[in-house]
Structure 1
């Protein structure tokens, strides 16, 4: 994968983050904190349906792509079962729409659940077809499939922001549905040759069995990971208030810098390292990638901590706490991204049950801490619980990879993560009392990070194709 392709993949996450910098403040000004909290539950609901319907076959497709000769057969064998399961899941959603709407959103309108079902189907289709673009390294088309829906979501809500109309949660749902349909249309057009060929391809039962053997353990891991992601939101919904969930949701939305790193790296990393394994490259380069990624993670922490006070300029006063919470919210995607490298031995050894174990451990940590902290601290407790859970997730995946594959230097990894997360926790807890002093502390830490990782920066900045992974 050359530098131009990597840059193409980076366009989507960067554009998405830039659009979010406009969208999130606009939503907070236009809608109530309760509706912002409901929007968080909506997104979690859609992601749950996509995860359950995909059955891990989306990851199986990525794993088998370089080892399967007939691309059309692979697409049909991997994607058709996902679409069938998704359609089956819509039946209970339609039948139980009203009680589900009350349970999830504290609303009695069944249309809320119908829109969730429709958005989930469109999101699943967009997800599956975008993988075709990703694996074929059609980077700009893949980026377009990520950015266009976010832009359209903002465009659809534009009239709501500009004119005095009734602003209710249903409008947010409709906008999200339109954005996911747009994503599905964009990816379907870009991959029309592939899926059209898959329509007439045969269903390879042997390939499907191999895909399921690899993928089904990942369903459990994926559900656990979803629960890990959703645990704090569920805790706030059940033990706090929708308004507090709204504050937490806005903090999550502003963790865009971390999500950009995760999105770009996740798109590039898995195909590259699987190809290395097939081609029998020197896998010591994984250590070098881990060190360089750790340097980026540390720098992102410092940048967000130093400039988080700027959020006060774009958010209503009721979201003052967000600038202190955002540091802990970026930890989840950054630590997950680190674990993708340090835990890659789990996938290379095809021992995905260890991913399940790591996720279950992190989920238990999150559940216990949410039960203890959310009733006392609200959104502060929720972000701290999630951050500590992801530290446990990183450690578990790293240690499992060492046992299953090969040793990975981890001393500097653990020291750096401990320092960053400890300072982030201090920012969450004492930030409201110390004001902008926390930003100064993070600014002062930046040159320390630059010096500590002085060997990593030249390799990353060198304008040579593939410098990151050499």
Structure 2
């Protein structure tokens, strides 16, 4: 164990790496999100609103299938990389992941005719089956990307990531534009691009064969990773079950309208999720509990400072982006409150990310599973109760409340593992004011003058955010 004089030097070093090279993986994903976002206005206009709703539901199915078929081994691969055995054992675990994913994908395809109708896929089995294949390939790609991240091979990571995101978006758009604007053609484009990404990733990481002598290592990895399956599944419920419930209680048009607003508003949540994946190897490299607690506190406070202008700026500018992304039949003027509620969700989610990093590296994956499961159940119940009375706004509020509940449970568990300093009161007040302002701006009228003022306000927040990022980097170097 390091003494406290070492900690003073070591913690800033880890923190500088988190917000330095480690965050380049988040920047890479951010570029991909922006490139993919640029195609969304085209896709929503080429495809009918009903077909786009089917695509949104198929994406939700893909995500839950990916969670189940991955068995949580993506995180176990990174954990194994940091332990004795290192790269060799991690590549053997990758082979185990591929075998389990293949078996699960085949089982899901064979049983798809039994359950697809209950999820709202009526008339054709093609969209759900394409979603299943997409999920199986995504498991393999994500596991390989996890190993590339642990190896810190940024160039290889970038190449695979760009193929499964930007190239996939372009392929889907090409299929619906050249052939026919249907959900099936859109999904075919995604599956083919994901296949290319999977092949590229596996060529780069070269999985190693798994032998009888590796069973103990595999069993240990599964004991660690299996609690992450219900955690990830519950996380899926938190992030996507609202669309399935909206489809069930309302219609595909409502799903499409909610999806457009959610895609914009959830950008901070997506980037924080990417940061969580990018930062996990760094937290694995800090075995001392006290050092890790100090790193948790400093990481949390830095994220909170950056979220103040990010949340407010996105809430101010979201109606502008929605208007550009969606045609008039999406009724973009009525989606401002939906977007703001989802944007504010980034605040409890940031605390959840840091707490999850701490608990994951401490081996307390079961605690994470319990916390996320409780929040997921609350999300489903709240959606069922609120959507009939408040529509899409009720669903967005359910998301915010569920994430807040998950954050509270995880924070309580983190406090039990050791002493982590609280964030400064001034920082908590600034975050609260930013959230209140994000709700207040939804009361503004939807006219050209106000939209222009929104553009100016959003630009100011962007400048403030960039200045904060630059000053933070200078302090850490």
Q: Tell me the TM-score normalized by structure 2.
A: 0.84
Residue-by-residue CA offset, 1:337-393 (whole Å, 9 max, x unaligned): 332224544234322222123212312331232122111222221111101211222
Secondary structure class of the residue paired with 1:67: coil
Aligned equivalent of 2:254: 244
Residue-by-residue CA offset, 1:297-339 (whole Å, 9 max, x unaligned): 2221122122223221342012313444323333445533332
Q: Is the 8 A contact 1:228 1:366 kept in 2?
A: yes
Q: Is residue 19 of structure 1 aligned with residue 35 of structure 2?
A: yes
Matches within 5 A, 1:127-206: 127-159=142-174, 165-192=179-206, 195=207, 198-199=208-209, 204-206=214-216
Aligned equivalent of 1:50: 66
Task: Please list every run of 5 or more consecutive structure 2 residues that lacks an aligned counterpart in the other structure.
Answer: 1-16
Aligned equivalent of 2:408: 395
Secondary structure class of the residue paired with 1:188: helix
Distance 1:205 1:152 in 2: 38
Aligned equivalent of 2:472: 460
The one of 260, 279, 284 equivalent to 1:269 is: 279
Aligned equivalent of 1:316: 327
Distance 1:110 1:455 in 2: 50
Q: Is residue 373 of structure 1 aligned with residue 386 of structure 2?
A: yes
Residue-by-residue CA offset, 1:33-57 (whole Å, 9 max, x unaligned): 2222221221121111221122122
Aligned equivalent of 2:13: none
Q: Is the 8 A contact 1:145 1:186 kept in 2?
A: yes
The one of 390, 395, 404 equivalent to 1:382 is: 395
Q: Is the 8 A contact 1:98 1:109 kept in 2?
A: no
Q: Given the superposition, is the C-alpha separation of residues 4 and 361 from structure 1 closer, same or farther in structure 2, using an over 3 Å criterion?
A: closer
Query: Post-superposition shift, 1:138?
Result: 1.0
Aligned equivalent of 2:5: none
Residue-by-residue CA offset, 1:208-239 (whole Å, 9 max, x unaligned): 22212222222222222122222311220211
Distance 2:448 2:401 in 1: 24
The one of 56, 61, 81 equivalent to 1:40 is: 56
Q: Is the 8 A contact 1:36 1:249 kept in 2?
A: no
Distance 1:105 1:173 in 2: 17
Distance 1:181 1:212 in 2: 26
Q: Is the 8 A contact 2:80 2:89 kept in 1?
A: no
Q: Is the 8 A contact 1:349 1:405 kept in 2?
A: no
Distance 2:169 2:466 in 1: 40
Aligned equivalent of 1:216: 226
Distance 1:343 1:97 in 2: 33
Task: Please list every run of 5 or more consecutive structure 1 residues that lacks an aligned counterpart in the other structure.
Answer: none
Distance 1:22 1:34 in 2: 21
Distance 2:235 2:292 in 1: 31
Query: Post-superposition shift, 1:177?
Result: 0.6
Distance 1:266 1:188 in 2: 23
Q: Is residue 95 of structure 1 aligned with residue 107 of structure 2?
A: no
Q: Given the superposition, is the C-alpha separation of residues 333 and 45 from structure 1 closer, same or farther in structure 2, using an over 3 Å criterion?
A: farther
Matches within 5 A, 1:338-357: 338-357=351-370
Distance 2:63 2:408 in 1: 25
What's the Cα RMSD here? Answer: 3.4
Q: Tell me the TM-score normalized by structure 1.
A: 0.85
Aligned equivalent of 2:11: none
Q: Is the 8 A contact 1:54 1:124 kept in 2?
A: yes
Greater CA deviation, 430-439 or 378-387? 430-439
Q: Is residue 284 of structure 1 aligned with residue 294 of structure 2?
A: yes
Secondary structure class of the residue paired with 2:421: coil
Distance 1:359 1:432 in 2: 37
Q: Given the superposition, is the C-alpha separation of residues 309 and 269 from structure 1 closer, same or farther in structure 2, using an over 3 Å criterion?
A: same
Query: Post-superposition shift, 1:411?
Result: 5.8
Aligned equivalent of 1:31: 47
When the two structures are aligned, how many residues end up with a matched partner? 457
Q: Is the 8 A contact 1:9 1:140 kept in 2?
A: no
Distance 1:407 1:159 in 2: 51
Secondary structure class of the residue paired with 1:246: helix
Secondary structure class of the residue paired with 1:365: helix
